[in-house]
């Protein structure tokens, strides 16, 4: 096996391992939002910030991955009581619920956020 082939195999294996450890697979943005943009305007209609929908999507999915890691750490924490874990889990669930606003960005329904209702 050549060096380049070995390198590609190792890089692919590391990427896969990192994704699995983070608890996620490749999540894709909705087709209709691929070339979309997000515009924040002030109360007088002046553009304050403009960004691509893809950039927002990456930020939202990054927050989700960090919440998942926090959830795993919470569930495996040795010194928290069951009641404390349940209370903190409730906060995480409400965070997911708050993020349902961004579900229109996701291509697959299964990848969307669910709060306490789902």
Structural domain includes residue 93: yes
Q: What is the mean pLDDT of residues 25-38?
A: 88
Q: Give pLDDT, residue 115.
A: 73
Place of tokens 């919440």: 67
pTM (two decimals): 0.68
Please list, in sequence order, all residues whose beta carbon lies within 8 angstroms of the beta carbon of residue 105, skipping any fewer than 6 positions away. 29, 30, 33, 53, 56, 57, 60
Quick check: is 64 in a domain? yes
Predicted pLDDT at 39: 96
pLDDT band at 6 (very low <50, low <70, confident <90, very high): confident
Q: Which domain holds residue 47?
A: 27-111
Q: Is residue 14 part of a domain?
A: no
Average pLDDT over the chain, rounded to an integer? 86
- 20 domain-assigned: no
Non-local (6+) Cβ contacts of 83 within 8 A are: none
**Residues sharing a CB contact under 8 Å with residue 80, sequence separation 6 or more, in sequence order:** 74, 88
Per the domain annotation, does 11 fall within a domain? no
* Number of structural domains the chain divides into: 1
- Residue 101 within a domain: yes
């Amino acid at each position: 096996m050549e060096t380049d082939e070995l390198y590609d195999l190792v890089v692919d294996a590391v990427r896969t391992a990192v994704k699995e450890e983070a608890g996620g697979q490749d999540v894709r943005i909705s087709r209709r939002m691929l070339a979309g943009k997000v515009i924040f305007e002030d109360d007088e209609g002046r553009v304050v910030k403009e960004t691509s929908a893809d950039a927002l999507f990456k930020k939202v999915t990054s927050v989700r991955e960090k919440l998942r890691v926090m959830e795993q750490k919470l569930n495996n924490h040795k010194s928290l009581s069951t009641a404390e874990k349940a209370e903190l889990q409730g906060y995480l669930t409400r965070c997911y619920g708050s993020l349902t606003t961004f579900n229109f960005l996701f291509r697959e329904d299964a990848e969307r956020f669910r709060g306490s209702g789902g």
